[in-house]
Structure 1
Amino acid sequence: MSEAAKETVFSDEEVTRRLESELPHWHLENGWIRRRYRTNSWKGTLMVINTVGHLAEAAWHHPDITASYAWVEVRLMNHAAKGITEKDFQLARKIEEVVQWQPAKEGGALEGTPQADMRFSYIKYD
């Protein structure tokens, strides 16, 4: 039996419930869990795409991505299992953690990207 055959595919109700509690900026649509990240420019869009690409390759679980000048949409679904599985939730959480990371809010030595100066600001945080 393949690994995909052993994976639990969650029902739409289970997915919706988990998204509401674990990933409130994600939603279920047409069999995919989805998230749109807003950016300030093409530079920001490319940075988000590259970040998601790195995480997906490291996880060996690959999303569909659509992009425009000031946004990136990430869609996850386990193709082999033909539905939403734990892999999708885990990768979505990691993408959310990394893309939405704001070091300045942690109070450490890292100040974070200046949001007020459009020369440097690249993502619109939720």
Structure 2
Amino acid sequence: MATSERTYSDAEVEERLKKELPHWYLEDGWIRRKFRTNSWKGTLMVINCVGHLAEAAWHHPDITASYAWVEVRLKNHAAKGITDKDFDLAKKIEEVVHWQPGKEGGALEGTPAEDMRFAYIKYDKPKA
């Protein structure tokens, strides 16, 4: 059963992105994020990660990809705009794609940063 969902104005979307998802932006009615990768392998890993999260959430983005990047676009087609579903899925995508276990401590070391054979995502540099 379809329910009415609140859609956000462009100004509200811009404000939430600035506060909650600074690497995402609003363009042509979609919230968007381009993930840079080191190779086709990394691109496929990002696509599969986003696909799993979208299917589990039952909210599906549009995806465009090339050899070393993936663009994810979200909007709620049924609501004809940006809703909380878009923000929530974007946050989960951001959290999982940019997870770096080696920086958390613990038993998981993460991929070797110095060996490009294992590199797959270009992590955002921390903001100063």
- In terms of fraction of residues, the more helix-rich structure is 1
**What is the alpha-carbon distance in structure 2 between the residues aligned to residue 80 and residue 32 of structure 1?**
13
> Which of the residues 6, 9, 13 maps onto 2:7?
9
The residue correspondences of 1:63-78 to structure 2 (distance < 5 A) are 63-78=61-76
- Report the counterpart of residue 78 of structure 2 in structure 1: 80
- Ranges in structure 2 where 5+ consecutive residues have no aligned partner: none
Equivalent pairs counted in the alignment come to: 124
CA deviations on 1:56-83 (whole Å, 9 max, x unpaired) are 0000000000000000000000000000
- Matching residue of 1:55: 53
Q: For 1:90-109, what aligned pairs fall within 5 Å after superposition? A: 90-109=88-107
Shift of 1:2: 2.7
Aligned-residue RMSD, C-alpha? 0.9
- Alpha-carbon distance between aligned partners in 2 of 1:54 and 1:10, rounded to the nearest angstrom: 26
Report the secondary structure of 2:23's partner residue.
coil
Q: Which amino acid aligns with 2:77?
A: H
- Which stretch shows the higher mean deviation, 104-113 or 51-60? 104-113
Alpha-carbon distance in structure 2 between the residues aligned to 1:2 and 1:106: 41
Q: Structure 1 length normalisation: TM-score?
A: 0.96
Q: Deviations over 1:23-54 (max 9, x none)?
A: 00000000000000000000000000000000
4+ long deviations beyond 2 Å:
none
Aligned counterpart, 2:24: 26
